[in-house]
């Protein structure tokens, strides 16, 4: 019989696993890593069961297979593991895990000018079919970005964004990286997603999705072909037709 203390401990462990999964794993590229780990656990357990049942040959075979896959898992999921270690090694990461992103009134006021500038520029670029990529990092692993581009370190204004993404400038094909509500870099080259995307998605959408799969960054995309505005996050692309909903989303993102 299970004692009440053991039941309480089991419930606490299950709650911690569920909370960790909801905060950091669900709807991200790291879900694949979790599935792989669970599969390995099952394989290890099955190998030990076979040995206990004196199926020595099968048990030994499964044991070595599980050992080989365990080593391979570290190599295959190195980006996810690196992202997790970076998250656990930062104060912001622990804050995100336990208290979320916060809702400070002061931060809201500080972000308003930058937010207004981005929404205004996006509205204009959407109407004029000007392609754009804007990255909002959250624990961004810079090693994932192929090239960060040109350092700008400037206040966010709609005029500056429109100038960067004007199709005659040398930086317009790359991404703008926003850090601390300032334009940190322009012309950044992002990793392309290897997933099979709908034919209507071009290189910008593939780049936005690729970065959102490898990191926790949020990427805003303006399509040059259709003028559609979308946001790539956690390996998924969501289209925003309503500027009010887009503004609300960006307001949350910029408070990360």
CATH number at residue 238: 3.40.1700.10
Mean pLDDT in residue range 189-216: 84
Tally of domains within the chain:
2
Q: Do 122 and 78 share a structural domain?
A: no
Is the confidence at residue 37, as pLDDT, over 80?
Answer: no
Q: Do 165 and 45 share a structural domain?
A: no
Q: Of the residues 59, 79, 99, which one is the last residue of a structural domain?
A: 99
CA distance 150 to 109: 29
Decide if 204 contacts 131 (C-beta within 8 A).
yes
Least confident of 57-66, 116-125, 228-237, 241-250: 57-66
| pLDDT digit string, tens, across residues 128-141 | 999 999 999 865 55
Q: Do 218 and 159 share a structural domain?
A: yes
Closest CA to 175 of 185, 163, 160: 185
Sheet (strand 132-136) strand order: 150-155, 182-188, 175-179, 132-136, 218-222, 229-233, 236-239
Mean pLDDT in residue range 29-35: 64
Q: Do 115 and 95 share a structural domain?
A: no
Domain that holds residue 79: 4-99
Decide if 19 contacts 98 (C-beta within 8 A).
no
10 Å Cβ neighbour count for 242?
A: 9
Q: How do beta strands 150-155 and 175-179 pair?
A: unpaired
- On the CB side of 240, how many CA atoms lie within 13 Å of its CA? 22
Is the confidence at residue 90, as pLDDT, over 60?
Answer: no
pTM value is 0.60
Q: Do 111 and 95 share a structural domain?
A: no
Pairwise pLDDT comparison (79 vs 237), residue with the higher score: 237
Q: Do 223 and 174 share a structural domain?
A: yes
**CA 21: distance to chain centroid?**
15
Q: Of the residues 99, 119, 141, which one is the last residue of a structural domain?
A: 99
CA distance 31 to 84: 12
């Amino acid at each position: 019989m299970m004692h009440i203390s053991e039941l309480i401990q089991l419930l606490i462990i299950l709650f911690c696993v569920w909370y960790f999964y909801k905060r950091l794993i669900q709807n991200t590229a790291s879900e694949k890593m979790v599935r792989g780990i669970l599969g390995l656990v099952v394989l290890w357990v099955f190998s030990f069961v076979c040995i206990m049942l004196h199926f020595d040959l099968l048990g030994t075979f499964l044991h070595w297979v599980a050992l080989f896959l365990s080593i391979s898992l570290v190599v295959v999921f190195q980006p996810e593991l690196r992202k997790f270690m970076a998250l656990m090694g930062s104060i912001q990461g622990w804050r995100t895990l336990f208290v979320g992103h916060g809702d400070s009134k002061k931060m809201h006021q500080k972000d308003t000018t930058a937010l207004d500038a981005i929404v205004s520029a996006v509205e204009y670029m959407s109407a004029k079919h000007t392609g754009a990529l804007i990255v909002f990092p959250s624990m961004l692993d810079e090693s994932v970005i192929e090239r960060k581009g040109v350092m700008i370190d400037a206040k966010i204004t709609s005029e500056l964004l429109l100038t960067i993404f004007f199709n005659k400038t040398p930086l317009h094909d790359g991404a703008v990286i926003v850090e601390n509500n300032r334009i940190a870099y322009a012309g950044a080259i992002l990793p392309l997603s290897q997933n099979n995307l709908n034919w209507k998605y071009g290189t910008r959408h593939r780049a936005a999705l690729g970065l959102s799969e490898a990191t926790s960054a949020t990427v805003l995309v303006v399509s040059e072909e259709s003028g559609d505005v979308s946001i790539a996050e956690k390996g998924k692309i969501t289209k925003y037709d309503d500027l009010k909903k887009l503004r609300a989303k960006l307001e949350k993102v910029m408070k990360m």
